[in-house]
Amino acid sequence: MADLSKYRNIGIFAHVDAGKTTTTERILKLTGQIHKTGEVHDGESTTDFMEQEAERGITIQSAAVSCFWKDHRFNVIDTPGHVDFTVEVYRSLKVLDGGIGVFCGSGGVEPQSETNWRYANESEVARVIFVNKLDRMGADFYRVTEQVRKVLGANPLIMTLPIGIEDEFCGVVDVLTKKAYIWDETGLPENYTIEDVPADMVDKVDEYHEMLIETAVEQDDDLMEAYMEGEVPSLEDIKRCIRKGTRDLAFFPTYCGSAFKNKGMQLVLDAVVDYLPSPTEVDPQPLMDEEGNENGEFAVVSVDEPFKALAFKIMDDRFGALTFVRIYSGKLNKGDTILNAFTGKTERVGRMVEMQADDRNELTSAQAGDIIAIVGMKNVQTGHTLCDPKHPVTLEPMVFPTPVISIAVQPKDKGGNEKMGVAIGKMVAEDPSFQVETDEDSGETILKGMGELHLDIKVDILKRTYGVDLIVGQPQVAYRETITREIEDSYTHKKQSGGSGQFGKIDYRIKPGEVASGFTFKSSVVGGNVPKEFWPAVEKGFKSMMSEGVLAGFPVLDVEVELFDGGFHAVDSSAIAFEIAAKGAFRQSIPKAGAQLLEPIMKVDVFTPEDHVGDVIGDLNRRRGMMKDQEAGLTGVRIKADVPLSEMFGYIGSLRTMTSGRGQFSMEFSHYAPCPQNVAETVIAAEKEKKAAK
């Protein structure tokens, strides 16, 4: 039976290009898991095994690997940094106990770092920070730690200080033990010596050592009192306090180095062992009742409990469908029958594997704390709970963002339809932020995603992995509709055509709801004019109409309906009559209530060299952008703005042209806002034209 205190389930996450994948490669090399290090820029890294990842030099899907360091087992997940793939980061954080946040020594805290950091805070994942690339031009460890403080509002606990900077970077000082680790020029991670602190750094190291101890002892009142009276705490006590503070997110132990040059990595691995929690030290996952609310019970991490696990990722590869599973409680053996709490169906576990990126080792059993993959599960989707059939439970599910951009696609040849259907089915199962629907009128297949790059890569995968050549339409924006004023109205549905008739009369108020409230319904009918048993039918009728607005047929958001009076007939009234009345009422009243078109607004974060700031801001203004913030750094300026999605197509090309290829940006969905009149008219006219053409 494995000792759970020696398990570390960790993720590596950061902004694009901060060096996550390189850091993962170095961890695998140091732990003896691989013998030749693959480089991202050569397209040869272990965890970036998709063709698209190797070519573009970015991580698209999270990859899992297991390795050992100082007799501790690490399950490591390398996550993507690009904003279009944050769903990968989110779902990985959901099942991890700790993480390493990687920041670039020269780029510092970049836009995507903030999103990932926010996700990690929401998931309450303990982290250590690794400031990477200190051998790069413009690297500055102290500036980056200051940014962590200011931009992320986090408290970095500085554990190592760099010796030399940029080309001169040769090692780090361990602030806790006041020892210097110096690497030679061979670039081999094991070629280092432990020496005394360089003379010119002694004062600085003393200052940081004192700050470290003061911060650590705050976690233990008795120790703090003793320290105030001049007693020096032991190394074990300090480490215990740092471990507690890290677990409680009071601070984040911060290390520095260069993963590419193999400097400083061992200390980061030691920190994972010393300070990040084991599966048993993390607050257990809450269990849910049938309505999806917490029921006060928890999935206690223990081998002796009934089996409970969460499927957090589905992947289809050359060996078949893989379901990645984090086991919270109990044991799982090959051949066991397990229950999918979501579908209510049981499945037999045929094969279980431990993942090494796209390689695998067969397993016969697994236990609480493990992250494994099960081969060939049917009908399991991301976020489903798997459990012991005798003890059915539901773990907290995952919530995924709604796609904001769509494209229409069709296969180039007729025979490609079936092939495309199968391929898209597999891709939707793998990525919950990627959705597909068929346009009923035109029969076109519509792909929906989080951004241009997201859909671009999906089309590329369809083409290369599944051999489906597509004709791709222009990107479309996911507009919405709403209302702007309150109205009172009445609607009567009556039908008399031999036999029993239909009758339902409703008096109602329709008004704009709270932002992001969707649809809300209440009834204040008194005196039984509309009997209580018909209220749900009225609600159902109104709700069913929310999927298609009156302006251009887009879904309707944020509407509140109140039923306050009406009339019924003892014989002719029925639930169906009231439902039809509600549908007619919606069509009648929404145009009177000031229907309005809404467009998705994106949170855009642009990085540009200083001499191009004016051009970038001018361009964002032309795109109807609202400037939010501007912040100068050493290597350039960050501009934050809210910009309508419809104005952002092809932006990367314009940005590169304006900044001679040096600018970069990220964007994520922020909120829906009313469309200006001229834009709304154009969109509505285009939609009507489309419908007429069909």
Residue type at 172 in one-letter notation: V
Give the domain CATH number at 441: 3.30.70.870
CA distances from 297 to 285, 286, 341, 537, 553 (A): 9, 6, 16, 35, 44
Q: How many domains, in total, are found in the chain?
A: 5
When pLDDT is cut at 50, 70 and 90, the band that residue 156 belongs to is very high
Judge whether 152 is annotated as a binding position. Answer: no
Residues 431 and 549 in one domain: no
* pLDDT computed for residue 43 by the predictor: 40
- The verdict on whether residue 199 carries a ligand-binding annotation is no
Check whether 82 is labelled as a binding-site residue: yes
Give yes or no: residues 441 and 556 share one domain: no
493 in a known ligand binding site: no
Nearest to 129 by CA among 103, 104, 152, 154: 103
Q: Which of 421, 444, 474 is the endpoint of a domain?
A: 474
81 is in an annotated binding site: yes
79 is in an annotated binding site: yes
Domain ranges, residue 623: 598-679
Say if residue 110 is in the same domain as residue 41: yes
Any known ligand binding at 317?
Answer: no
Q: Is residue 349 part of a domain?
A: no
The domain that contains 33 carries what CATH number? 3.40.50.300
Cross-strand partners of 680: none
- 16 annotated as ligand-binding: yes
- Single residue among 564, 593, 622 that ends a domain in this structure: 593
Residue 578 placed within a domain: yes
The answer to whether 18 is a known ligand-binding residue is yes
The verdict on whether residue 20 carries a ligand-binding annotation is yes
Lowest mean pLDDT: which of 188-197, 369-378, 451-460? 451-460
Q: How confident is the model at residue 54 (pLDDT cuts 50, 70, 90)?
A: very low
- Proportion of the chain above pLDDT 70, given as a percent: 86
Instruction: Judge whether 17 is annotated as a binding position.
Output: yes
Give the model's confidence band at 496: pLDDT under 50 very low, under 70 low, under 90 confident, else very high: confident
- Asked if residue 50 has pLDDT above 50, the reply is no
Q: So what's the pLDDT on residue 412?
A: 83
Contact 434, 448 (CB under 8 A): yes
| 167 and 268 both lie in a single domain | yes
Summarize pLDDT for 319-354 with one digit per residue, the tens. Answer: 667 788 888 888 999 888 898 888 888 888 888 887
42 labeled binding residue: no
Both 67 and 161 in a single domain? yes
Is 520 part of a structural domain of the chain? yes
160 part of a folded domain: yes
d(CA 526, CA 84): 51
300 and 273 within one domain: no
Q: Output the six-digit token pair for 483.
A: 């209302």
Quickly state the pLDDT bin for 559 (edges 50, 70, 90).
very high
SS3 102: strand
What is the model's pLDDT at position 49? 37
For residue 85, the tally of other CB atoms under 10 A from its CB is: 25
pLDDT mean over 63-71 = 75
Q: What is the pLDDT of residue 526?
A: 84
Domain end position, chosen among 231, 254, 281? 281
The alpha-carbon radius of gyration of the chain (Å, integer) is 29
pTM > 0.85:
no
Q: Is 14 annotated as a binding residue?
A: yes
**Half-sphere exposure at residue 279, Cβ-oriented, CA atoms within 13 angstroms:** 29
Q: Is 32 annotated as a binding residue?
A: no
Can you tell me the mean pLDDT for 90-112? 79
Q: Are residues 50 and 171 in the same domain?
A: yes
Cβ-proximal residues to 165 (8 Å cutoff; 6+ apart), any chain: 134, 139, 140, 141
pLDDT, residue 133, reads: 85
Give tens-digit pLDDT for 230-253: 888 899 999 999 999 999 999 999
Proportion of the chain above pLDDT 90, given as a percent: 24
Residue 567 token pair: 């009339």
Give the side-chain half-sphere CA count within 13 A for 158.
24
Residue 690 labeled ligand binder: no
pLDDT of residue 643: 94
Q: Are 212 and 157 in contact (CB under 8 A)?
A: yes
Same structural domain, 238 and 303 = no
Answer whether residue 620 shows pLDDT above 70.
yes
